[in-house]
Structure 1
Amino acid sequence: MELFHLSVDSIFKPCQSSEESLNKNSSAKYDEVFCLFDGDRPEYKQAIMDAHRYSVYKIKPILSIPCFEFWFLLHYRYTSSPFENYKQVIAQLNKEFNKVGIEDYDKSKSGYYGLLKPQLDQAIANAKKLEGAACTNPLTQVHDIVIYLQAQKILAVNFFSNSQ
């Protein structure tokens, strides 16, 4: 399966034109924009530097090094051991999956959210622990998006339950 990759400018330039539109139309607003950068692509470092040019648009770069699947691994165990590449992460992830009766990881399959959700709190705790250890490989900030979305859900539930 071949994935396509976008340049940072192709991702963020629309934000620039959206921001110009926001100045004209104050009813269209956004609170946060998250952009996940997967460390298994060599150009991710340049993409992060380029992303900072667009920080005025409330874009928060989210890193996952060496790859997004490291976030999945944190659902099962903490590790600060460095990984050279995606394949090393997948080998460890598959070991954890197999321990609990889950088939080997396949990037083209869906349904992982339901499998991982019961361990979400553990993944967040492991990611925070890793963050506290100031590791750069491995690293994930995916928990930042998850925590943000959980807070938004609580706000929405409270808003709708108080408005009735």
Structure 2
Amino acid sequence: MVAKKREWRSGRRSVATKLVQMTRHLVVCEGTETEPRYFGGMKDALGPANGRKIAVVVRGSGRHTLDLFEHAEELCRIAPDPYNHVWLIFDKDDFPSNEFDLVERKCGEVSSSSCTFHALYSNPCFEIWPLLHLRYTTAPMDASSCQKGLVDALKREFNVEYRKNMDGLFSLVDSRRQDAISNVDKLDKHHKSIGNDRPSTMNPSTRVGDIFEELGPYLDKGD
């Protein structure tokens, strides 16, 4: 009788170890307080998935449009481990339209099969994203009127006084994230119908919700 080969003696295992590929995400915000606090809340909500299945790094920069893009590239160059996704969070505000629009093109140019850059712009400002969780609007606005709209909506819906740099904004509105995503889709169709095809002309609009295409499943189902 021929003895069966003992795989453990040859250094092999009969069952291959399943390797789980972690994806690494860098979130680089134009602001140093409001946006990093929001995405910090998202990071906290990811729970055990963050660090096990994904790794999320949030950075506030105080830089804008093309400076923000270049800063993100530098952060990638000096990072000890490569990122799979780089998310740029920036506003239109009063910045030149050509620079604002160019960030999206630059992100497309540097993206590769191993790392994707995403231009998560908001026009006029970041507050349009939480506002769209609570109501739909196509009315063009500046940053101050957008912030006032969010103040009024949060007061009406949650009896909460909104202020810049507040903690807890993510957890406060996230239960209505699907409403926001639906409202963003309707806004995109609205702008297309009237011929707006550049980020700088699409007021109001935002791409912040795109990050949840990657991270939403970890938030909605847990680890």
State whether TM-score is above 0.5. Answer: yes
Q: Is 1:14–2:74 an aligned residue pair?
A: yes
Between the aligned partners of 2:221 and 2:187, the Cα distance in structure 1 is 28
Amino acid in the other structure paired with 1:113:
F
Q: Secondary structure at the match of 1:64?
A: strand
In structure 2, which of residues 208, 211, 222 is the aligned counterpart of residue 142 of structure 1?
208
Give TM-score scaled by structure 2 length. Answer: 0.56
Aligned residues: 148
Closer, same or farther in 2 for the Cα pair 1:101/1:37, shift >3 Å?
A: closer
Give the aligned partner of residue 124 of structure 2.
Answer: 66
Question: Is contact 2:69–2:88 with CA below 8 Å preserved after alignment?
Answer: no
**Aligned AA (1:142):** V
Q: Which residue of 1 aligns with 2:186?
A: 129
Check whether the contact 1:70–1:140 (CA below 8 A) recurs between aligned residues.
yes
Matches within 5 A, 1:41-120: 41-43=94-96, 45-49=98-102, 52-53=105-106, 55-57=109-111, 58-83=116-141, 85-120=142-177
Report sequence identity in percent. Answer: 24
- Match in the other structure for 1:5: 63
The question of whether the paired residues in 1 share the 8 Å contact of 2:72 and 2:86 is answered with no
Q: Work out the CA distance in 1 between the residues paired with 2:184 and 2:123.
A: 12
Structure having the larger proportion of residues in strand = 2
Residues 9 and 116 (structure 1), Cα distance of their counterparts in 2 relative to 1, 3 Å cut: closer
Q: What is the rounded CA distance, in whole Å, between the counterparts of 1:156 and 1:100 in structure 2?
A: 27
Query: CA shift at 1:29, angstroms?
Result: 3.6
Residues 15 and 48 from structure 1, CA distance in 2 versus in 1: closer, same or farther, beyond 3 angstroms? farther
Instruction: Give the drift of 1:13.
Output: 3.7
When Rg is computed on C-alpha atoms for both structures, the one with the higher figure is 2
| Structure 1 segments unaligned to the other structure (5+ residues) | 23-27, 158-164
Which residue is equivalent to 1:160? none
Q: Is the 8 A contact 2:76 2:83 kept in 1?
A: no
